[in-house]
């Protein structure tokens, strides 16, 4: 994303403003360092920048949720002199490598705003960096412990719920579902997982509040169901494909 700013005088940006493009960010979990770089294009009559830097902000994750996304974590000067992480001198790519100021293991993402200053005016660009991805966690599950078969031709409804969190934020949770192993050792629903939803639909899904991390589903028990133990197996998955530990719950169906 590319946009221009000025020093608050209301003067339109001039053709002499540097153009910032191709921002790059990466995180090395071996030494917990961050590399940032941006390409700068100068007009023909400009030979040098007054200054160039990047600012680091939290963008998502548990830490961002608790501290906010507008807190400046670090401000770092960039260079094009093949020092402090810059690879080649005078190639138009201004860079820096520095130790991450965030606690080790912090998940979620950070936002970098790049700024170049010349003659009192600034150009800017931004980039978002995903840090170490952490798996979702199923905190608890709930369902009936025992269900009785209903009368012929009817159904008994049970609310199945899983409370889930993710260190990278609830927005990183892609799916929460479960399978049901029946007393005859076959899987219900032809072996396909049964999805739970956090959509705030109490009628269709039994979910009371959207976006609270409690995933729900209403499951019907028909009158011709097998009696015995039904073993529910819950898993949560995030958008990177990381899967939570499995959580089990047993429902006993009796006559």
pLDDT tens per residue, range 1-14: 222 222 332 333 44
Give the separation between CA 15 and CA 119, rounded to whole angstroms.
12
pLDDT value for 129: 85
Greater confidence, 25 or 62?
Answer: 25
Residue-wise over 205-228: b if at least 16 C-beta within 10 A, else e?
A: bbbeeeeebbbbbebebeeebeee
pLDDT value for 58: 87
Domains of the chain: 2-130 (2.60.40.10), 137-254 (2.60.40.2550)
End-to-end CA distance of the chain: 63
Sign of CA dihedral 35, 39, 40, 44: positive
Inform me whether the pLDDT recorded for 252 exceeds 80: yes
Confidence of residue 167 (pLDDT cuts 50, 70, 90): confident
Confidence of residue 169 (pLDDT cuts 50, 70, 90): confident
Give per-residue pLDDT as tens, 117-142.
Answer: 998 889 999 998 877 667 899 999 99
Are 198 and 216 within 8 A, CB to CB? Answer: yes
pLDDT value for 105: 67
Lowest-confidence region among 30-34, 154-158, 186-190: 30-34
Are 17 and 81 within 8 A, CB to CB? Answer: no
Mean pLDDT of 13-39: 84
Give per-residue pLDDT as tens, 208-231.
Answer: 999 999 999 999 999 999 999 999
Give the separation between CA 4 and CA 112, rounded to whole angstroms.
16
Give the separation between CA 105 and CA 129, rounded to whole angstroms.
14
pLDDT value for 43: 86
Give per-residue pLDDT as tens, 148-162.
Answer: 999 999 999 999 999
Give per-residue pLDDT as tens, 61-117.
Answer: 777 877 888 888 999 999 999 999 999 999 999 999 999 898 876 777 889 999 999
Give a three-class secondary structure readout of 61-91: CHHHHHHCCCCEEEEEECECCCCCCCCCCCC
Report which of 27, 1, 32 is spatially closest to residue 127, judged by C-alpha positions: 1
Mean pLDDT of 51-57: 96
Mean pLDDT of 173-180: 96
């Amino acid at each position: 994303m590319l946009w221009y700013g000025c020093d608050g005088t209301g003067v339109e940006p001039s053709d002499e403003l540097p153009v910032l493009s191709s921002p790059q960010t990466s995180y090395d979990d071996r030494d917990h360092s961050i590399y940032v770089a941006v390409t700068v294009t100068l007009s023909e009559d400009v030979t040098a920048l007054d200054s160039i830097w990047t600012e680091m902000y939290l963008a998502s994750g548990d830490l961002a949720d608790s501290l906010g996304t507008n807190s400046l974590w670090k401000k770092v000067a960039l260079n094009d002199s093949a020092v402090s992480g810059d690879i080649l001198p005078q190639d138009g790519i201004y860079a820096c490598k520095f130790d991450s100021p965030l606690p080790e293991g912090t998940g979620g993402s950070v936002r970098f705003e790049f700024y170049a200053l010349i003659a009192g005016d600034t150009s800017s660009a931004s980039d978002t960096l995903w840090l170490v991805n952490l798996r979702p966690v199923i905190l608890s599950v709930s369902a009936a412990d025992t269900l009785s078969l209903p009368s012929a031709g009817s159904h008994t409804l049970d609310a199945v719920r899983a409370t889930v969190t993710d260190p990278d934020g609830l927005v990183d949770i892609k799916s929460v579902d479960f399978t049901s192993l029946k007393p005859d050792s076959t899987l219900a629903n032809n072996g396909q997982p049964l999805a739970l939803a956090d959509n705030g639909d109490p009628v269709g899904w039994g979910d009371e509040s959207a976006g609270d991390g409690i995933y729900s589903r209403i499951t019907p028990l028909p009158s011709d169901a097998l009696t015995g133990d039904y073993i529910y197996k819950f898993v949560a998955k995030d958008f990177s494909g990381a899967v939570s530990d499995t959580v089990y719950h047993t429902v006993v169906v009796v006559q």
